[in-house]
Amino acid sequence: MTQTLHHRACHLCEAICGLNIAVNRGDDGRERITSIKGDPLDPFSRGHICPKAVALQDIQDDPDRLGQPHRRVGSQWHAIGWDEAFALAAERLWSIQQAHGQNAIAVYQGNPSVHNYGLMTHSNYFLGLLKTRNRFSATSVDQLPQHLTSHLMYGHGLLLPIPDIDHTDFMLILGGNPLASNGSIMTVPDVEKRLKALKARGGQLVVVDPRRSETAAMADRHLFIRPGGDAALLCGLLNTLFDEGLARGSHLPANGVEQVREAIAPFSAEAMSPLCGIDAVSIRQLARDFAAADKAVCYGRMGVSTQTFGTLCHWLVQVINLVTGNLDREGGALCTEPAVDLVASTSGGHFNVWQSRVSGLPEYAGELPVAALAEEMLTPGAGQVRALVTVAGNPVLSTPNGRQLDTALQGLDFMLSIDLYINETTCHADLILPSTSALENDHYDSTFNLLAVRNVTRFNRAILPKPQGALHDWEIFVGLAQAFARRAGLALKPTVAPAQMIDAALRKGRYGDASSWQLSLDTLDTHPHGLDLGPLRANLSARLATVSKAVEVAPQIILDDLRRLAAQAPAAPGELLLIGRRHVRSNNSWMHNFHRLIKGKARHQLLMHPQDMRQRLLEDGQQVRIRSRTGTLEVEVQASEEMMPGVVSLPHGFGHGRQGVHLQVAQAQPGVSANDLTDERLRDAVSGNAALNGVPVHVDAA
């Protein structure tokens, strides 16, 4: 028996922590993982890992993970060969488009797509051949308002200013819980240590959240806020900055600051207080404290994206950073300069060039809001979606009104899934094509280096051999593209392996052949722990992609949305609003089949403030019925003073107790799906992003 120590970045969440993975080769020739530990020589994560990393062994050894293509006949699954699978997919998809048009096929790409560089480089090699406008992804149940805001203000949806957490003196977090998420659109390993360092150097951490989350619990100040009230709070803050002369100049060229000052004038702290549930005195003091800090940053994340004012919120975050002089400044919000620069290599995006057929929701960068997916399948007429391709996604559990989508999938003519599992979505597929596991692949983080709090880079080779007869994700897309091109009579340009693409991008990039770094894959192979390329620095002036080459501070479509906020009514007495929550041992729906992550006490209860429970004569631990416009669930309620009165919390990603699902561990702790309660009609009016937080519900005894 021989042991080899491999170095690898974890791919399970955004933090991309460095790992040391020990692999033993047994007498039978098989290689098995024997230990997973943090890599102290990784310059970014510095030895830190979270509990998810050790579950990589469970994923690798999971008996439920598919190893070859499977075709469903009735309720039975049958293994088939790759050539047969590619031919079947090509024939069915081509036939449906011939009969019903290109848009009769929809595509959904899930969150794990961005954790796999081969999938990132090659998925469109096939999906682009379909030429459908019905493309959807997890972006529109997550961060779409952030991309749209950057597109409108900076000219590129990937120019995303990141909190300079290591140098700031004052960090204001709205709708984010990085101690549970490990950072989100803020790639930040060991975030707890970094936040403690902020406080140790005399800085302040302020968290605004309807729940006293793990991050809020360590903050200097926590403000409870009514779900969906963030835009009102942010308007009150911005109004105070202008009204009290607290705004500072910015070195950035900017158009529209005075227009914003005029538009925000009616939105005083006093006027906004009833809408957000925070008193006007606290709003004004928060604005003063933020402005008084030498280096401050306002950061809004999932909770402010997935609400009915998502784009307005993210615009306000950017404007507050700008007018206090903290945008594109050390200790404020800065854009990264990654070795593989997706900003430089992609277009800035486009918005509302076309709309969804049924509800007229706007596209962004070629994708429609996923809140429209089910209705596009269920509504008859020209352009009705009759086939679906899913890629590493489980929208039945992760998109609003999941039961409606569950029903819609049953009526499709054909469904193809590129996935490792038969889950709540892929159980409806006619054909599932599984790839190799992550540890059987090379790995490069093109996405998360773009979002990191330092400029870093690393490339690691596969640590386990590719099983005989298996294909990598990118090889599956190449096979599908070749089969579809043959059937459709299309010319297909040749492609190269993902590693060659990354090597070319590294060489052409700012740290490549023309720099002293001389980055290439060969270079990175000699630095298996990764390379630190330096702290974030001011660069936005030179990178602005707007026509004016200035920050467009006052996009008209966003200013127009202020009228909707002004018409918002305060909370009704006795109203309950539903929010989600995260846990460090989970990531959406795809980590519940791994024993190391799901073991222990169940954590999918409904959290409710004791005051709200007493009003409804409910007892801690009893079963309750929770109802919304879209559905009813029964779940255990847990009394929690973490919750703001009038707010209840249920984590998403559960609901595994369904027929046809092949997830043994997950089904032993199935929970219920929060997205059976969320409402596809509740959306951010500007972007169409799903409003998964702030859903009105009723709770009573079951």
CA–CA distances in Å: residue 546 to residues 156, 281, 418, 517: 8, 38, 37, 30
Which is nearest to 315 in space by CA: 238, 424, 203? 238
Residues 658 and 361: their CA atoms lie apart, in Å, by 31
Q: How many CB atoms neighbour CB 324 within 10 A? A: 28
Helix (H) or strand (E) holding 626: strand 623-627
Q: Which residues contact 312 (CB under 8 A, 6 or more apart)?
A: 231, 558, 561, 562, 565, 686
Question: Which residue type, as a one-letter code, is found at position 617?
Answer: L
Contact 465, 442 (CB under 8 A): no
CA–CA distances in Å: residue 24 to residues 35, 54, 237, 493, 672: 10, 16, 57, 41, 39
What is the DSSP code (8-state) at residue 546? S
Residues 329 and 334: their CA atoms lie apart, in Å, by 6
Query: In the predicted model, what is the mean pLDDT of the chain?
Result: 96
Residues 302 and 180: their CA atoms lie apart, in Å, by 12
Question: Which residue's entry shows tokens 């020209």?
Answer: 382
Instruction: Specify the pLDDT at position 1.
Output: 67
Strands 170-174 and 204-208: parallel
Question: Which residue type, as a one-letter code, is found at position 86?
Answer: F
Instruction: Specify the pLDDT at position 600.
Output: 82
Helix (H, G, I), strand (E, B) or coil at 71: strand
Instruction: Specify the pLDDT at position 598.
Output: 85
Q: Which residues pair with 391 in a beta bridge?
A: 109, 418
Which is nearest to 238 in space by CA: 572, 684, 565? 565
Q: Is 462 exposed, middle or buried (0-12, 13-18, 19+ CB in 10 A)?
A: middle
Instruction: Specify the pLDDT at position 599.
Output: 85
Question: Which residue type, as a one-letter code, is found at position 224?
Answer: F
- Could you write out the DSSP letters of every residue in 336-364? ---SS-HHHHS----EEEEE-TTT-PEEE
Residues 139 and 155: their CA atoms lie apart, in Å, by 19
Which is nearest to 435 in space by CA: 35, 62, 68, 36? 68
Which is nearest to 129 in space by CA: 489, 474, 386? 489
CA angle, 455 then 460 then 463, to 5°: 150
Helix-helix angle 280-292:230-243, to 10 degrees: 60
Residues 512 and 497: their CA atoms lie apart, in Å, by 20
pLDDT tens string 327-359: 999 999 999 999 999 999 998 889 999 999 999
Q: Is 298 left (phi over 0), alpha (psi -120 to 50) or beta?
A: beta
- Could you write out the DSSP letters of every residue in 518-544? ---HHHHHT-TT-EEEEE----HHHH-
Q: Which residues of the chain have pLDDT under 70?
A: 1
Q: How many CB atoms neighbour CB 488 within 10 A? A: 15
Helix (H, G, I), strand (E, B) or coil at 366: coil
Instruction: Specify the pLDDT at position 479.
Output: 99
Instruction: Specify the pLDDT at position 226.
Output: 97
Instruction: Specify the pLDDT at position 386.
Output: 99
Residues 585 and 55: their CA atoms lie apart, in Å, by 9
Question: Which residue's entry shows tokens 């227009």?
Answer: 259
Q: Which residues pair with 126 in a beta bridge?
A: none
End-to-end CA distance of the chain: 57
What is the DSSP code (8-state) at residue 95? H
CA–CA distances in Å: residue 668 to residues 210, 309, 599, 636, 657: 31, 37, 10, 16, 8
- Could you write out the DSSP letters of every residue in 416-434? EEE-SS--TTGGG-SEEE-
Hey, what are 68's tokens? 């070859």
Hey, what are 275's tokens? 């809408």
Domains of the chain, with CATH numbers? Answer: 1-61 (3.30.200.210), 143-335+539-565 (3.40.228.10), 572-701 (2.40.40.20)
